[in-house]
Structure formats: C-alpha cells, structure tokens
Chains A and B, each alone.
Chain A
C-alpha cells in the first residue's frame, strides 16, 4: 500500500434482500484522510453498504477494496477497519471498562496493557466515573462515546460510523462531531451514514446521496446545495386574504415559482438567494402586505432529494421513512 491507495474503492456493489435490491450497483472512490458521508433516508441502503465494506455482509455482486485489501480477504480488511453500528455495538451487560478490556485483549494486548489502555480511553472520553457501571445504565450520549471508544482501542485506518448521532441531544451530537474531527485530523478515514444534511454539511468532505440503493449524487456539500439552488424562503402573512397578492409579488420579484402550502397564510419559494430574499421581503413591506414571520434557510434533505429525484423522500413504498429535519 502506498500513499495513493484509496481508502475505499468499490465497483458495482449489489445486495438483494428477497425482492428488494437494498444496494443496487454502488461505486465509491474514497481518498484517505477525509470524512465521507453517505446521506439518505432510512431504508436507502446506507447501512448495507458499510456492512459490506466491514465484511459483515457478502455482496451478491461487485467488488471493493479497503486500503487495497479485497473484501474477500476478510481478515486483512478487518485488521484495518472498525465499525460502530447504529445499535448495541458494545455489550450492555458488561461494564464500560470490561467492554474495552475485552476488545483490547482481542486485539492482542497483554492483560495489564489492556487494563491501562481501557483506563486511558475511559478518561479521554469522560467516562471514568461510569467505568464500573454496566453499559445499559448509560445515557444516550455516554453510550455513543463508549461505542466510539470501543472502535478505536487500536486506531483503525478506516472507521465506519452508522448514524453516529441519531437520537442524540445537541450537546452530545456536538461532542461526537468533535471526536470525529479529531480522529480525522489524526489520519483516520471516516465513512459515516446520516439522514441529516446539516451533519453531512458540518462533517463530511465529500457526500454521496443514496436513494433506493443507488448513488444519485456525489460531491461536496457546497456542490450539492448549489445543485438544489440555495435555500427556500418561507413567508407567513398576517392576513390570509393577502396571499394571492403576495404570491404574485414574490413570483415577480424573485422570478421564480412560488408555492402555497396547506397553511393558509404561508408561501414557499425554493432556490432563493439571500439578497433576493431580502429585497423581496422589503417589497412586501413597501406595498403594505404584513408578514407575521419569514425564514430563509439552507435546503433541507427533502429539498435536495426533491431536486435530485423530482420526488420527495417519503415515497409510499418506504414504510420505514423517518422524520427529515430541516
């Protein structure tokens, strides 16, 4: 392996579960030392992709190399990767300390060294006080930190994180982001899955948008957002009867289609630049149409999907569809 060997190179990965093509021909080229985000809704195939790359699931067809090791050479791949699954990636019945010692022993540390390494990790992750408690008593944020600590008893070359912040409160989420940034700064390549555009935006150097087992877009978060146009402008009026006039004015000012929503006082325009939004709002005020509130934000995952696929993420055949935060 030389410095130009990519962290991950996948060609035509396919995995069926019954009739469903969970992963439907995925190619990936992930350079080393970056955070690569797989972005998509529940059931898009993100988890199956990383489970294949971590040798937990055998692809039906296609091939992949992790740091030059073919997936068929399982032990070679496993010696350079580490996986933090979305659920239960440590043993809940054991204490935090026992879990880490167990994993250290499995990676060949002698007994005393395993204990020392475990204590070092627990201290670094702020879990010293919880070291002797069973993991099932941990809070969500502590749980996620022990999960990640368990993945780096030996610092992996490539770390897979499956939805590392789903279900976490904002503070815990920020801590997980800090840990991920520190790991990448130290040279680990991170492949994470997420349903959140802002997470991909904050963390990922490159993003692949996944839908129905396919990569439907690839690029930096800036490129993805540019492909959608900028954010959407939502305006809520004081009086519902002003809406037709406001719609006409905004459409003219923004030179764009403006949509009404089910809210009788709301109007939505997608792909609006901030300065254009400000000007249009000024025009509304000038003609005397009162607004109760307005918002201009980065495109939501929904909007990215809408722009990329022409349909929203909540397709009728996707029963596991989850909430998509703006």
Chain B
C-alpha cells in the first residue's frame, strides 16, 4: 500500500465543529474488570486479523508434534499407531498447548516493546485487564491449536469413548491450565531483556516439564526416581485427566489437582506479574 498523506493532511480545519469535537466532557462510567478484559481480548483478535502470520507457530507446531510422535513411537510402544493414538492424543494435546504458552510471554514482550502500553497504563482502567485480554486472545490461539490436534487425531483414527462432552471437557481443562501457566511467561517476559531470552527461558522449563510426564509412556515403566518425579508433575495430572475425560474413564483426583494448580499459578504469578507491569518502565 502506498502512503497518500497529501489529501488527508490538508483536510485539517480548526473550526467550531473541530472545537466541539475536541471538548467532550461526557464521562461515561468506567467499565468493569470483565468489560475491560474483553475489550483487550478484542484487541488481541484484531491483531490476529491484521497479522495472521502469528497463527503459524501455534498451528504448525501441534501438527508437527502429533504426526511426529504418533509415527515415531506408535509402532514400538503400542504395537500400532492407531492403538498408540488412543493413549497419546489426549496427552499430546496437553503437551502441545502447554508448549505453545511460551509464545504468550514472547508476544507480550514484543507488544510492550512497541510502546502502546504507556497509553493503556495511563488510562484509568482495571490494569490487569490489559494482560488478561492478551491471554484471552491467546486462548483463541490455543483453542485453534487444540482443534487442529484433535481434528488430525480423528483423521489418523483416534476414536474417543468419552464423546463430545468428554472431548470438550478435556480441551477446557487443557486451556484452563494453559491460561494459568501463561502468567508465568508474562512475568518472565516483563523481566527478560529481549523476546528471544523469554523464549529461551520458557523452552528450558517447558521441555523437561512436558517430556518428564505421562504424555508419552506409562510412568510405571520408568526407573523409580524418574517415576517419582513424573508422578508429581502437574503435566502428568493434566495428561491423565485429559485422557480420562476423552476416553470416558474415571478421572480420579487428576481434574482437582489440575484446577488447584491453576488457582495456585494465577494466585502467585498474577499479582507478581501485575506488580511488575505497574512498576516496569
């Protein structure tokens, strides 16, 4: 697109209409936290609309991991890829979505570097809404990624016994955890010097966290110390919970543990992130 500054520039006229426009004394009541968060969520969606390239990483990555691990491990671990899919798909959904939460911290960092945050921070709105809105936009990306993984699973032969409700519940559980975990990366993003370092730090945590879990194999096959660690990894609970919900099996304590982790993550990292957001300059 070419710039055409000439015509619009000459159109600035300081007349009575102009004076009326610039002196608006109307003061509607300030919107509440939910309205503010949704408005910032709308901004995130607009950014996706204008910069659709940002969907590439969250869609390409899940397809890649699902295909790769299904065919890499399927034959060896479960005898056939179709049987392995029943075990793997709910877990790989959890792993993939958890892994792409690292883009939240990086995306926020890039967004902040562009500077428009000074405007938001000097506006009398519920301040956490700025970040909650960004994460709402991320939820749309995670939902898209979940749909891709699940759809790919169906094509490859995955048939969940838990039905539509079970699948939706599993995806909801994974999204809730991803939303909560994203606060950690937002905090990292506010402290890190560059967007690249946010990526580096989150990879370093997320890779071991998602692999040392029950996503790929049954923990009972592991050496004792590893099994001990895997049994305490929240990703294990997330993968097991997602699997149970999708297959219509009893969920045990998995869902409770995941939801408590979510509350814990938001309760700890939400305020820390907001404090940093207020004072970072």
- What residues on B are CB-neighbors of A307 within 8 Å? none
Stretch at the interface among A34-42, A74-82, A245-253, A267-275: A74-82
B76 located at the interface, meaning its Cβ lies under 8 Å from any Cβ of chain A in the complex: no
- What residues on A are CB-neighbors of B119 within 8 Å? 83, 85, 89-90, 103, 150
Task: Give the distance to chain B from A148, nearest Cβ to Cβ, in Å.
Answer: 9
Measured CB to CB, the residues of A under 8 A from B are 51, 54-58, 75, 78-79, 81-83, 85, 87-95, 98, 102-103, 105-110, 113, 117, 120-121, 123-130, 133-134, 137-139, 141-142, 145, 150, 152-155, 171-172, 175, 178-179, 182-183, 185-188
Sample 21 A-B pairs with CB under 8 A, ordered by A number. Answer: A56-B118, A78-B122, A83-B118, A85-B115, A89-B119, A93-B47, A95-B50, A106-B31, A106-B39, A106-B120, A106-B123, A108-B27, A120-B21, A133-B1, A134-B50, A142-B5, A152-B22, A154-B27, A179-B12, A183-B22, A186-B19
- What residues on A are CB-neighbors of B22 within 8 Å? 124, 152, 155, 179, 182-183, 186
User: 12 extra interchain contacts, Cβ-Cβ under 8 A, other than A88-B115, A103-B123?
Assistant: A56-B121, A56-B281, A57-B281, A83-B119, A89-B118, A91-B114, A106-B36, A108-B27, A108-B29, A133-B1, A142-B9, A183-B22
Q: Which of B9, B18, B39, B114 contacts A88 (CB 8 A)?
A: B114
Which 9 pairs show the lowest CB-CB distances between chains A and B?
A88-B115, A126-B11, A139-B5, A108-B28, A78-B124, A124-B21, A126-B12, A186-B23, A79-B124
CB atoms of A121 and B26 under 8 A apart: no
Give the complex CA separation of A98 and B26 in angstroms: 20
B69 located at the interface, meaning its Cβ lies under 8 Å from any Cβ of chain A in the complex: no
CB atoms of A51 and B281 under 8 A apart: yes
- What residues on B are CB-neighbors of A141 within 8 Å? 5, 9
Using known A-B contacts A94-B50, A102-B42, determine if residue A175 contacts B9 with beta carbons closer than 8 Å. yes
CB atoms of A87 and B21 under 8 A apart: no
- What residues on A are CB-neighbors of B122 within 8 Å? 54-56, 78, 81-83
CB atoms of A185 and B30 under 8 A apart: no
B17 located at the interface, meaning its Cβ lies under 8 Å from any Cβ of chain A in the complex: yes
Q: A91, A125, A183: which has the most chain B beta carbons within 10 Å?
A: A91
For chains A and B in complex, what number of residue pairs have CB atoms within 8 angstroms? 147
Measured CB to CB, the residues of B under 8 A from A are 1, 3-5, 7-14, 17-19, 21-31, 35-36, 39, 42-43, 46-47, 50-51, 114-116, 118-125, 279, 281
- What residues on A are CB-neighbors of B29 within 8 Å? 108
CB atoms of B28 and A109 under 8 A apart: yes
CB atoms of A139 and B21 under 8 A apart: no
CB atoms of A171 and B9 under 8 A apart: yes
Give the complex CA separation of A16 and B51 in angstroms: 38
- What residues on B are CB-neighbors of A142 within 8 Å? 5, 8-9
Give the complex CA separation of A278 and B267 in angstroms: 75
Q: Nearest A residue to B120 by beta-carbon distance?
A: A106
CB atoms of A145 and B28 under 8 A apart: no
Q: Nearest B residue to A150 by beta-carbon distance?
A: B119
CB atoms of A182 and B47 under 8 A apart: no
- What residues on A are CB-neighbors of B35 within 8 Å? 105
Task: Give the distance to chain A from B46, nearest Cβ to Cβ, in Å.
Answer: 6
- What residues on A are CB-neighbors of B30 within 8 Å? 79, 107-108
Task: Give the distance to chain A from B27, nearest Cβ to Cβ, in Å.
Answer: 7
- What residues on B are CB-neighbors of A108 within 8 Å? 27-31
- What residues on A are CB-neighbors of B21 within 8 Å? 120-121, 123-124
Using known A-B contacts A78-B122, A175-B12, determine if residue A124 contacts B18 with beta carbons closer than 8 Å. yes
- What residues on B are CB-neighbors of A92 within 8 Å? 114, 116
- What residues on B are CB-neighbors of A133 within 8 Å? 1
Using known A-B contacts A128-B8, A154-B27, determine if residue A179 contacts B14 with beta carbons closer than 8 Å. yes
Give the complex CA separation of A1 and B122 in angstroms: 21
- What residues on A are CB-neighbors of B125 within 8 Å? 106
CB atoms of B36 and A94 under 8 A apart: no
CB atoms of A155 and B116 under 8 A apart: no
Task: Give the distance to chain A from B263, nearest Cβ to Cβ, in Å.
Answer: 27
CB atoms of A94 and B43 under 8 A apart: yes
CB atoms of B46 and A98 under 8 A apart: yes
Give the complex CA separation of A127 and B13 in angstroms: 12
CB atoms of B115 and A89 under 8 A apart: yes
Using known A-B contacts A102-B43, A124-B22, A186-B22, determine if residue A139 contacts B3 with beta carbons closer than 8 Å. yes
Q: Nearest B residue to A81 by beta-carbon distance?
A: B122
Q: Nearest A residue to B111 by beta-carbon distance?
A: A91
Using known A-B contacts A56-B121, A182-B18, determine if residue A187 contacts B8 with beta carbons closer than 8 Å. no
Q: Nearest B residue to A90 by beta-carbon distance?
A: B116
- What residues on A are CB-neighbors of B39 within 8 Å? 102, 105-106
